[in-house]
Chains A and B, each alone.
Chain A
Amino acid sequence: MSYEVKLEIFEGPMDLLLHLIRKNEVDIFDIPIATITDQYLAYMDMMKALNMDLAGDFLLMAATLMHIKSKMLLPDIGDQEEEEDPRLEITRPLLEYMQIKELAHDLSEREVLGRDVFSRMPSEELSTLAKGENAPVEANLFQLIDAFKRIIDQRLPEAQLRFRLEEWSINEKIEQIAAMLKEKQTMYFQELFPRTMDLSELVVTFLALLELVHRGAVKIFQADLESDILLNAIPDKRRSLEP
């Protein structure tokens, strides 16, 4: 079994670079590019060893760093007009990134609604919030796919070959699911897939659900990986369930 680790602090290459600059206590306007590049690459190796997901962004930054490093190694011919310090390519975005981090910090220091301050709420919202600890966690696409896979797996052993004249289009299914949800507001994922449903209809139903989630008309929740997925119609009037 393999584990994937997500190291929140170095969520991106910029974060890592900033960390290295701070750790080495170097001047951002005079980055010792060779040292930083080496450390950056060492860190990438470590992440690989830890089986962490190395996004392409990290590789892109590594390439940029090495490019700058090689430029710095080139002898200065000195005949051309005032050459720009190659490191500016990295300094500029870093400075902007620092500004952004600062802004994000400023935002989080404010009196945030739902964290520091509370307003009177419509009773509907109150009741969802009051569900509290048992409140389901929003599920993602992969959880949905897993759940669908389970349904398919469960069903295959007793699958029968049969032909039906009924062909469902995704749009019809969308309307059907939307109508069901409009009535019930919440329902379980499994309810959409009765055991009698044939494979093609299962697939169309699933695609229709994905489309509804994509449109923002349905929210999917799952308390934990084992539990059943819950579908919630979004009460927002602006995003109606109508196709």
Chain B
Amino acid sequence: MTGNLHQIVEALLFACDHPLSPREINDLLPDYSIQDIRGALDELALEYRDMGRSFSLKEVASGYQFRTKPDFAPYILRMYKASPTRLSGAALETLAIIAYKQPILRQEIEILRGVDVGGILRALLERGLIRIVGRKNLPGRPFVYGTTKKFLEVFDLTDLNSLPKLREIKDLVSDGEAPITTLQVPTGAADATEKQIPNRTTPQGPKD
């Protein structure tokens, strides 16, 4: 076999149908160190960026993948005679909840969204964006949901830590002179304790 590491890695990336992680490449090329492979990947990414091509080498879901730039989406869709992948607002909201609060129960999602999410969960499962990560030790042993690697791939995320940060409440409310301190709204990303989800059905009135 010939070629330098740089080219070998490039060839692998070119032919691969999923984001290729340094670890996977290392398994294929045991003669090279993972540091060398990481270095080659970084170099390649920079090269493609500087070349001004219509695609770039992007880091997604802990791997690297060639992706076209957004400017060319209309042409590619024309080629496939397809309309762009769309998720409804409801589906996106549900997905956002799961992404930030996983592992999470269906009931907890419903409390946050105020509507039944059964159909949406099924659709998201079918699209492989979420998965059932287990069951909770509660009556009925309900499913616990989390996001998948495909979710990271689709939304151009390296890992869950690279999710957009939760915005502070005061930034959401235009006139921010509100007594935010009295409100216990979770602000930490990916926080999954159910205690933080206020239960809408039990009024927290004083007469109890």
Is the beta-carbon distance between B203 and A89 smaller than 8 angstroms?
Answer: yes
Given contacts A64-B200, A93-B200, contact A113 B185 (CB under 8 A): no
Of chain A, the residue at the smallest CB distance from B13 is A120
A225 proximal to B (CB < 8 A):
no
Is the beta-carbon distance between B85 and A115 smaller than 8 angstroms?
Answer: yes
Is the beta-carbon distance between A129 and B178 smaller than 8 angstroms?
Answer: no
Is the beta-carbon distance between A113 and B200 smaller than 8 angstroms?
Answer: no
Is the beta-carbon distance between A115 and B172 smaller than 8 angstroms?
Answer: no
Is the beta-carbon distance between B114 and A113 smaller than 8 angstroms?
Answer: no
Is the beta-carbon distance between A119 and B66 smaller than 8 angstroms?
Answer: yes
Binds B, one of A6-14, A148-156, A165-173, A180-188: A6-14
Residues in A with CB closer than 8 Å to B70 are: 111, 116-117
Q: How large is the interface on B (under 10, 10 to 19, 20 to 34, 35 or more residues)?
A: 35 or more
Residues in B with CB closer than 8 Å to A159 are: none
A101 proximal to B (CB < 8 A):
yes
B residues in contact (CB < 8 Å) with A:
14, 16-17, 58, 65-70, 72-73, 76, 79-82, 84-90, 92-93, 95-97, 99-100, 111-116, 125-126, 153-157, 164, 166-167, 169, 172-173, 175, 178-179, 182-186, 197-198, 200-201, 203-206
17 new A-B pairs (CB below 8 Å) besides A64-B200, A117-B58?
A: A8-B89, A12-B113, A29-B178, A84-B206, A93-B198, A95-B173, A97-B113, A104-B89, A104-B92, A112-B154, A113-B156, A117-B69, A120-B66, A125-B17, A131-B81, A132-B80, A132-B82
